Structure 1
Amino acid sequence: MAPLSGAKYSTLMPDVTIIGAGISGLSCAWTLKQLGIDATILEATPRAGGVIRTEKIGGYLVEAGPNSFQAAAPALQLVEELGLWDDLLPPAPHAPRFIYWDGKLRKFPFGPLTFSGILRLLREPFIRSKSSGDESVRDFFVRRLGRQAHDRLVAPALTGIYAGKTDNLSMVAVFPKIVEMESEHGSLTRAFLSTLRRRGKPAGPSRPKPKGAVFSFPDGVGALPKRLAEQLSIQYNVADAPIGNTPVTVVAAPAYLAADLLQHRQRELAALLKKIQYAPMVTAAVTVGDDSLNQPLQGFGFLAPRNQGLHMLGSLFSSALFPDRAPQGQQLLTCFLGGMFEPDAIDWPDARVWEIICTEIKTALHTSEMPKPVALFRQPHAIPQYNVGHEGWVIAVKEELKKTPGLFITANYLEGVSVPACIEQGGRTARAVAEYLGRRA
């Protein structure tokens, strides 16, 4: 198939068109800029950031998407390059995570487990079975850690990341490094101990890594795409983004939109993109007064296994985790509903959502008063699902891309849904674009 554009490489026009101003597209454009390559981003909405969205509402700082990002090298490197390093906001120290089990919040990881469940967990180094092919997350962890550890720890943790079902999610796609650890060492415990012994300094920012597993900013996670957008060329409210007007087009739009864009140019690729499932998500921010809590609110929040009688997937203690998220005397909690477990929740009336969220928060935290609504967000396509077979699907997508020189894809439905993973993929795509343009010059 012919390249996207017959135009010669020219400094009079952008070298690259990027479709989508989410964190993947923004990161790609930023890396291209560092490489001296002009890129224009076309965004269908009036704002940059994609699923990353921070709102200030009545004295509350509310996150509609990610509430923080992991302290991984790609993210910290970008933060340093953007001059945001001094604004990094670590979480409250010693903030425990909880699992809602049997009517109580129990500390992760051992709180929800029985004595027999802990004993089974400790047997992990002696389990000799290994993965054969692309097994589900559920099958892998039941095999290695036991059913109880899976049901009470792993499954709710994956709910907090993918809002998906572990019997559908692909182990090799979701946790490729853990699969490698088992393959190389025969045990996750032995692999972890080996990693500790030979741990070196990872590549990343020039400054020492700050303390904390996750970070935000005083103005929320939205400060990251906002700073990127200020440094880049973006056209907003572009409903029908053209493909082929520049030597390179990078599609950084969600899979279902990318499929529509490519339907008439690359039908096989479009058909593959249509196969990606998304978990719909309802995010509800509520507030409770300090005087209605029977003890100070501390910790990251809690996750709720599906057999514990709650509709909620879990809740983040946003104002306990980061400062200045709520007015004095109030606490802000960010709650989640729907996912692949109750996908129809995306269409529930506001009144029903608020009744469920407020009632279940009151039940879980034993507040003396009913929580009050702050903000409600609905995302029909919140999180792409890396189901069994995803690795083969990614290979097929890459093979189809080879048929159209000058066409690239970078997005959270390929090789990682986290903010750092999207940043890394965006940078990697930018370097591939630079190599392609270098060959054309």
Structure 2
Amino acid sequence: MTVAVVGGGISGLVVAHRLRSRGRDVVLLEASARLGGAVGTRVRGGYLVEQGPNSFLDREPATRELAKALSVEGRIRVADPAAKRRYVYTQGRLRSVPASPPAFLTSDILPLGARLRVLGELFTGRAPQGVDESLAQFGRRHLGRRATEVLLDAVQTGIFAGDVERLSVAATFPPLVKLEREHRSLILGAIRAQKAQKAQQKALPAGDTSAPPKLSGALSTFDGGLQTLIDALATSLGDAAHTGARLEGLARVEGGWKLQVHEHGRSAELAASQVVLAVPAHVAVALLRPLDAPLADKVGEIAYAPVAVVQLGFEPGTTPAPDGFGFLVPSGEKRRLLGAIHASTVFPFRAEGGRILYTCMVGGARQPELVKLDEDALVALARDELRALAGVTATPSFREVIRWPLGIPQYNVGHLERMAAIDAALQRWPGLHLTGNAYKGVGLNDCIRNGAQLGDALAAT
């Protein structure tokens, strides 16, 4: 019987592709007119702009495997070497993030006392068992107050646009918690992990083909942007993917599920053995509430941070080409910009003829009201902040504003407990599954890995 995947973002597309590639009958229902969800690329005025995620780190085997299966592996483009340097705005100016421990000790990104306090991490103890610490609590305990306010807050801003005092460290950065649990000190754990990795590589026989393909770990995209991946997924699904198809009702029946679908002005019933809700949490809540109100309430507890993306393009010669990947702004600086990506430096092919493209992020969990500003006001805000923080005084010849009122899921303290409760509640409804960035990873790689795992599990049933 058919597996119904509801939601045509990256998660739903990957689940459906995995099922179809394994010979299962699948239908994908997407309420909007296009596939891809937040992932999408536009070509305008000599610029290639991303409306959501900008890139991915080439370190996830499932992503590389997907690209290979879709015959787009050869279209992966690695970031320009000039993008390796990253900046944080702190103490009144942009400062380079050190790339090594020795560079950190001699840098000016933190005051001397704060740098020495980071070295004291070697003597940090473990957290009490069963405590879900915030990222700020974890950071202050290991790295000290100043490093948490500047470095750790900047890192989470670039991923979650969240509140460091509210995000759960176990849910947002599980590798850090694992390092602490196994090694006590993050520094010691990182050193030991690096040694173990080198030893493992040396132990592999020459020409060993059993090892997984080596991933570059580099910041990457595709020629044509991330839309290349979406288009390839859509092509692979063919007529199994339906746009303009909205799920209006869901009911458990003997042998599976019955779906009420409204598609292009007509309503119809669809029978399915399994249903995957690969939609944002608030959409899942509306679908789940008539079925299971307590489950819907738990899913509804997942908060989102609104984000506005302001793209500003400049003609050649009007402003210097920026160095590095871009910069992030810790919340303690009290600025109105979360950060900016030097898009044309990272991937030069995204701006024709030497043009300069900045991708600016506004809003987040701490300043959600800014996302409600009109387009002119958001452009003016981004220009003012670029002038004050990065010295960009030129007038842009290109502008585009994209708002995400429910932008990035917030894995706040209690998220893992919430997920355990959601997983337990789903056991009451055999054949019903939830996936997407609201649950177990917000990044593109996370969504692809989780979608592939779910697709494989369903294909095996």
Same fold (TM over 0.5): yes
Q: Helix, strand or coil: the match of 1:164?
A: coil
SS at match of 1:181: helix
Match of 1:235 among 235, 242, 260: 242
1:108 aligns to what?
A: 97
Quick one: percent identity of the two aligned structures? 33
Contact 2:77 2:223 in 1 (8 A): yes
What aligned pairs does 1:31-430 form with structure 2 within 5 A after superposition? 31-71=18-58, 72-94=60-82, 95-109=84-98, 110=104, 111-132=108-129, 133-199=131-197, 200=200, 207-210=213-216, 212-232=217-237, 233-243=240-250, 244=257, 245-293=271-319, 295-430=320-455
Cα RMSD (Å) of the superposition? Answer: 1.9
Contact 2:316 / 2:353 at 8 angstroms: preserved in 1?
A: no
Deviations, residues 183-233 of structure 1 (Å, cap 9, x unaligned): 1111111111111122246999954323x5221011111211221111112
Query: 1:82 is matched by which residue type in structure 2?
Result: L
Q: Deviations over 1:381-419 (max 9, x none)?
A: 111100000000000111111101111111111110011
- Verify: 1:24 aligned to 2:11, yes or no: yes
Can you list the C-alpha shifts for 1:86-130, whole angstroms capped at 9, x where unaligned?
Answer: 111000115201001233211014442111111111121122243
The alignment partner of 1:307 has SS state of helix
What is the CA–CA distance in structure 1 between the aligned matches of 2:278 and 2:20, rounded to whole Å? 17
Aligned AA (1:51): A
Q: Is the 8 A contact 2:126 2:180 kept in 1?
A: no
Q: How many residues of Structure 1 are paired with residues of Structure 2 in the alignment?
A: 421
- Mapped to 1, the partners of 2:10 and 2:248 lie a distance apart of 18
Helix, strand or coil: the match of 1:89? strand
Per-residue CA deviation, residues 251-310 of structure 1 (Å, 9 max, x unaligned), is 0000100111122122221111111111111000002345343x5422110001123242
The 1:204/1:314 distance shift into structure 2, 3 A limit, reads farther
Task: Give the gaps of 5 or more residues in structure 2.
Answer: 99-103, 251-256, 258-270
Question: Secondary structure at 2:181's aligned position in 1?
Answer: helix
Compared CA separation, residues 281 and 237, structure 1 to 2 (3 A) = same
Contiguous gaps of at least 5 residues in structure 1: 1-8, 10-14
Judge which range, 16-25 or 303-312, deviates more. Answer: 303-312
Q: Aligned partners of 1:315, 1:78: CA distance in 2, in Å? A: 29
Per-residue deviation, 1:356: 0.6
TM-score (norm 1): 0.91
Q: In 2, are the aligned partners of 1:20 and 1:41 still within 8 Å (CA)? A: yes
- TM-fit CA distance, 1:327: 2.6
Report the Cα distance in structure 2 between the residues aligned to 1:430 and 1:329, rounded to whole angstroms: 43
Please state which structure has a larger fraction of its residues in strand. 2
CA distance in 1, matches of 2:164, 2:278: 27
Looking at structure 2, the residues matched to 413 and 131 of structure 1 have their Cα atoms a distance apart, in angstroms, of: 27
Deviation at 1:165, TM superposition (A): 0.3
SS in 1 for 2:306: strand
1:29 to 1:64, Cα distance in 2 relative to 1, 3 A: same
Letter in 2 for 1:364: L
Structure 1 distance, partners of 2:296, 2:333, is 40
Q: Distance in 2 between matches of 1:44 and 1:89?
A: 31
Q: Which moved more, 1:345-354 or 1:108-117?
A: 108-117
Partners in 1 of 2:379 and 2:38 — Cα distance? 22
Counterpart Cα distance in 1 of 2:147 and 2:314: 32
Question: C-alpha deviations, 1:123-177, integer Å up to 9, x for none?
Answer: 2112224354100000001110111111111101101100100110001111112
Give SS of 1:239's match.
strand
- Contact kept, 8 Å, 1:361 with 1:371, in 2: the verdict is no
Change (3 A) 1:401 1:177: same
Change (3 A) 1:296 1:349: closer
